[in-house]
Structures are given as structure tokens and as C-alpha cells.
Amino acid sequence: MSRLQTPLFSIYEQHNGKTIDFGGWDLPVQFTSIKEEHEVVRTKAGLFDVSHMGEIEVKGQEALPFLQKMLTNDVSKLKDMACQYNAMCYENGGTVDDLVLYKREDNHYLLVVNASNIEKDYEWLKQHATEKVEVINVSNQYAQIAVQGPLAESITQKLTKEDLSTITFFKFREGVVVANKDVLISRTGYTGEDGFEIYCRPDDAISLWNALLDAGKEEGIQPCGLGARDTLRFEARLPLYGQELSRDISPIEAGIGFAVKVDKKEDFLGKVVLKQQKEDGPERKLVGIEMIDKGIPRTDYEVFKDGEKIGFVTTGTQSPTLKKNVGLAIIDKKFQAVDTVVEVQVRKRRLKAKVVKTPFYKR
């Protein structure tokens, strides 16, 4: 089966993009090198094609009560033109997806969901929708470009009359003209850095991408791939669905309890289990680990204590910022204290590691 391509696919080659299969999409893993792209986002600015992300519109008279039932955060607290991080759960507390909710106005919302979950999320929402709620998969109507890094604002500002400094964290604006294109722009991202995510018409994506690269030439902006996006989000301890979150891993276990409001008066899917986990503490939880012995903790490697299996690694790498071999792991609550020494099964050997504080990086 042929892989899906974003509207920006044709320009990857111009920048020596090396593509991989990512959830059925043909996407660039890197353009120069993961380390170089990681560094440029931490110090200057990087440009990412994130058009594979899904967009689902929810609108209608009962949109708010519907989203209060479907999502873990308190949607009633969300103001117009603001975003909210959310999880969508099964009754058993497992995660359907994590997402960002955009409130356009009363009864009109946009959900930005993970690429590998678009169909599943859409079906899940449709399945629970009432007559007075419309759920529409509008993913094909958008391309999405992320400009991330400390210089993201100054570079993007060159292309618009809108005062970008007035769009604060997790706020957005629609109908903004950037490089002569009509866009939705939000101060959001998945790197742990300042920056924007820009939603445009698919036909405008290449022109907008080139304009941003030109505008940031002097500052040293570079195209960045999925590899750097992963190491950047990992250092900032932002979860990736399928690794830190899954059907079997709840938002509380994954450490995103701040997005689970068990005190909101409405019942939501998974509330009973999540409330219990929040009050009693989950049996297992996501922690940071740093290798003591030489080795890298990779996804799905098993974690042991005194010969007993106590969990597994969700993500691990050599942190480009810290220059240390670190990982995130879901382990038994008895062993979560910082400096607890554990062992990671790296191929045929069990290597020592210790529990450390996270995030690994904070700007």
C-alpha cells in the first residue's frame, strides 16, 4: 500500500530530506542530522512539516456537554480563541488519544489529534455523538507548519502585520495573514521551546514554508524532521501516543494528571478509574531514568529491580542537550523515588540506571 504524503512532500528532496514510514505517512526523519536539527531548535529556530496531524471539528448546540463527556479536562473553563491540552479515554482509564482542543467560539471547537489515530478518534467521537452535535473530519482541509525555537517569533513576525507577541502561550488567532496567506496561528508546539503552529490551506503550504525559510535565513532557521521532533519532545517530557500513552496506559500513569479534572461535575469516560488513580496514586507511573552503565535505554526494554521485572522503557535516547543516556519508563510505584537504582535489559545484559527528576530539559 502506498504511503500517505503531505502537501509539502515534493520539497523534502530540495533539502535532502530522508523519509521514513511514520504511521502510514512518508515523512522526513531528518534533513541534515538529528543532533544538528535538535540544537538549532534549542538555540535558533526550526521548521517542521506537521501536516500529518489530524483535525476534527465538533460543533452544534450540545458541543460543550458532549466534549465534557468525551475529554478529561474541563472544557467549560476554555475561553474563545484559546487551546487546552486534553486526553480522551476508555471507560477503563486507558487512553484513546491525547490532543489539543481549540475553542473558536461557543459550540464550535477544533480537535487536533495524532496522525495515527485520526480514523479511530473520529469513529470514537461519532459513536458517542448526540443528535445536536456535528463531528466532521476536516484533516484534508489543513496543512500544518510548526516554527519552533527562541527565534520563532522574530522570524515569523517579519511575514505578518499581526502583533505576534499578543498571542500568548496556548492562545490562537484565525484570519491572520502570514506571507500573504490566510492562516490560523497558535502559540503551541511539541518541542519544549517557544514557537507557533500555523494551519493553512494545503495549496498554500509550499509558499508559506519557503517564505518562513527565507525570512529566517539570517537567523539560521533550518528544516527539521521527525527525529529531532522526537528528541526535543522527549527531553521536555511531552508524551508520545503509542509510547508514553496507549490503550493500556492511562493519563495518570503517564504523568499528565494536570489535564484530568476528576472534580468537574460532569461524568466523563474513564472518570471512575482515573479518580481512583488520582486519589490513591496509580500502581505504576512514568519516571525518568539515567544510565549508570554504558548503554541506551530503548523503547520496550524491560526494567528490573533485584531480579524482578518492575516495568518497561517507553522512550530512550542519548539526550542531545544533556549528552547523557536517559529514558522514560513506566515502573512499579515502590521504586519511583529519585536515585533508586534499577537495571535495564539491554539485549543480553542488565545495565544499571537510576531514577531521576524530569523533565530532562526546561527552557
Helix, strand, or coil (residue 165): helix
Contacts of residue 24, defined as CB under 8 A and 6 or more positions apart, other chains included, come to 1, 3, 4, 116
Which of 235, 251, 273 is the last residue before a domain boundary?
235
Three-state secondary structure string covering 94-129 = CEEEEEEEEEEECCEEEEEECHHHHHHHHHHHHHHC
CATH number at residue 182: 3.30.1360.120
What is the pTM for the complete model shown? 0.97
Instruction: Tell me the pLDDT tens digit for each residue of 94-139.
Output: 999 999 999 999 999 999 999 999 999 999 999 999 999 999 999 9
Q: Could you tell me if residue 75 is inside a domain?
A: yes
Q: Could you tell me if residue 253 is inside a domain?
A: no
Q: Are residues 149 and 34 in the same domain?
A: yes
Q: Are residues 169 and 44 in the same domain?
A: yes
Which of 248, 239, 251 lies closest to 87 in space, CA to CA? 251
CATH number at residue 101: 3.30.70.1400
Instruction: Tell me the pLDDT tens digit for each residue of 316-345.
Output: 999 999 999 999 999 999 999 999 999 999
Q: What's the grid cell of residue 111?
A: 480537535
Q: Taking residues 299-305, what's their average pLDDT?
A: 98
Tell me the C-alpha distance between 170 and 182, whole Å. Answer: 20
Q: How confident is the model at residue 282 (pLDDT cuts 50, 70, 90)?
A: very high
Q: Are residues 154 and 230 in the same domain?
A: yes
Tell me the C-alpha distance between 246 and 193, whole Å. Answer: 25
Q: Are residues 190 and 222 in the same domain?
A: yes
- Residues flagged as binding site: 197
Q: Are residues 62 and 14 in the same domain?
A: no
Cβ(251)–Cβ(72) below 8 Å? yes
Angle, helices 34-43/226-235, rounded to nearest 10 degrees: 60
Q: Could you tell me if residue 347 is inside a domain?
A: yes
Q: Are residues 67 and 91 in the same domain?
A: yes
Q: Could you tell me if residue 70 is inside a domain?
A: yes
Is pLDDT above 80 for 1? no
Which of 50, 49, 40, 51 lies closest to 12 in space, CA to CA? 49
Q: Are residues 45 and 76 in the same domain?
A: no
Work out the burial of residue 272: count CB atoms within 10 Å of its CB; fewer than 13 is exposed, 13-18 middle, 19 or more buried. Answer: middle
CATH number at residue 330: 2.40.30.110
Q: Could you tell me if residue 272 is inside a domain?
A: no
- Residues flagged as binding site for substrate: 197
Q: Are residues 43 and 147 in the same domain?
A: yes
Which of 105, 139, 173 is the last residue before a domain boundary?
139
Q: Could you tell me if residue 268 is inside a domain?
A: no
Instruction: Tell me the pLDDT tens digit for each residue of 129-177.
Output: 999 999 999 999 999 999 999 999 999 999 999 999 999 999 999 999 9
Which of 104, 139, 174 is the last residue before a domain boundary?
139
Q: Are residues 58 and 127 in the same domain?
A: yes
Q: Could you tell me if residue 61 is inside a domain?
A: yes
Q: Are residues 46 and 147 in the same domain?
A: yes
How many domains are contained in the chain? 3
pLDDT at 2: 85
Q: Taking residues 39-64, what's their average pLDDT?
A: 98
Give the residue numbers spanning the domain of 66. Answer: 54-139
Q: Could you tell me if residue 1 is inside a domain?
A: no
Q: Are residues 28 and 79 in the same domain?
A: no
Q: Are residues 172 and 37 in the same domain?
A: yes
